[in-house]
Amino acid sequence: MLRRHLLLGFAGLAAMSAAAPVAAQETVKVGLIATLTGPQAASGRQKVAGAKLYMALNGNMVAGKKIELIIKDDTGVADITRRHAQELIVNDKVAAISGFSLTPLALAVAPVITQAKIPAIIMTAGTSIITERSPYFVRVSFTLPQQSVPIAEWIAKNGAKTAVSLVSDYGPGIDAQDAFKMRFEEKGGKVLEQLKAPLANPEFSAFLQRAKDLKPDALFLFVPAPTAGSLMKQVIDRGLIEANIKVVGTGDITDDDQLNGIGDSVLGLVTSHFYSAAHDSPMNKKFVEEFKKANPGMRPNFIGVGGYDGMHAFYQALEKTKGDTDGTKLVEAMKGMSFESPRGMLTIDPATRDVVQDVYIRKVEKKDGELYNIEFDVVKQVKDPIHK
């Protein structure tokens, strides 16, 4: 009896090993390093929701391999981002990492990915220089100069002769205000002062009072999206909108995730950005509907779209390499990639690995009882104007 069992056991084992190449499905792991706690947590929540939605709608099989997403919370601290990147690469053997809310978090992984030759797909961070810091960075989000130049042109064309800028004092803020100043002054305007508020302490009232006292025609603003609610409340409380100062900015300040919470005082406010939940395309309508269904109470913003498109870029790359997970081949496969996103068409510039896309000029309006950024003009297929 025992012997028969053993024999059966061996037969079973033999059958299993014969079937192994088919049965043992190879798994390809992708790391997603998001900021899920702390002041920037809204960013991670969107990114994870976007990436998961992409997988839910497109399945988890690519080129015959099963995709597994490993999510890590970096709490917004660069050392933790770097440690997660190292562990994902060394212990989990991921084929790629992705995520990165704040610019310093992306910069922290540059040496790690360069040494390991593993691609890192940037889903949010927007400082121009990032993609130059490693040949393994590929960006599907945006750059601040790419967004700031179109609004500088728009406000100059719409009668502003003087402006003040106020931004968060770190990479993307500096990029945003420098690009704004460059184009606004090229168009004959004058930037009276470039104000910078500390990133860690979202207390803007002294800076806003200074901006008000300078009596500019326009005030240009940038803060990372999760800080938009607190900035805009202070803009309203300080009476800048009533003071006849035309408040403009990149779309980070009227982020779709926060806009309803900011309230009707910002009706009519004009910003430039690559994504609006109100973007009028069949693909975006479906994306917004599915996103809301999967995440009750949430509305997608540009960070959610970054998560969604970042997964798409990885899927497409793995499809192109026919399942080969070599990091250098995956980056090569992403260069020059072009696809429709909920935002519109985007292309990964093969020379810079940075995103080229339409930038929309939008105005806050009420639609079906909710505030939206309604697109009314577009600058087609904009490259980062600084690091071309």
Using CB under 6 A, list all residues that contact ligand DHB.
43, 101-103, 124-127, 172, 224-225, 252
- H helices present in the chain, as ranges: 2-23, 41-58, 78-90, 103-108, 110-116, 144-157, 171-186, 205-213, 228-237, 259-262, 282-294, 302-320, 327-334
Q: Cβ distance 40 to 101 under 8 Å?
A: yes
Give the nearer residue to ligand DHB in terms of CB position, either 49 or 156. Answer: 49
Q: Are strands 27-34 and 96-99 parallel, antiparallel or unpaired?
A: parallel
Of 102, 46, 363, 40, the C-alpha closest to 229 is: 40
**Least distance to ligand DHB, CB of residue 49, Å:** 15
Give the nearer residue to ligand DHB in terms of CB position, either 89 or 106. Answer: 106
Give the nearer residue to ligand DHB in terms of CB position, either 160 or 232. Answer: 232
Q: Cβ distance 308 to 50 under 8 Å?
A: yes
**Least distance to ligand DHB, CB of residue 132, Å:** 14
Give the nearer residue to ligand DHB in terms of CB position, either 162 or 234. Answer: 234
**Least distance to ligand DHB, CB of residue 356, Å:** 18
Residue nearest to ligand DHB (CB): 224
Instruction: Using the CB atoms, write b or e for 154-174: b if 16+ within 10 Å.
Output: bbbeeebebbbbbbbebbbbb
* Distance, CA of 332 to CA of 329 (rounded, Å): 5
**Least distance to ligand DHB, CB of residue 192, Å:** 24
**Least distance to ligand DHB, CB of residue 77, Å:** 13
Give the nearer residue to ligand DHB in terms of CB position, either 61 or 200. Answer: 200
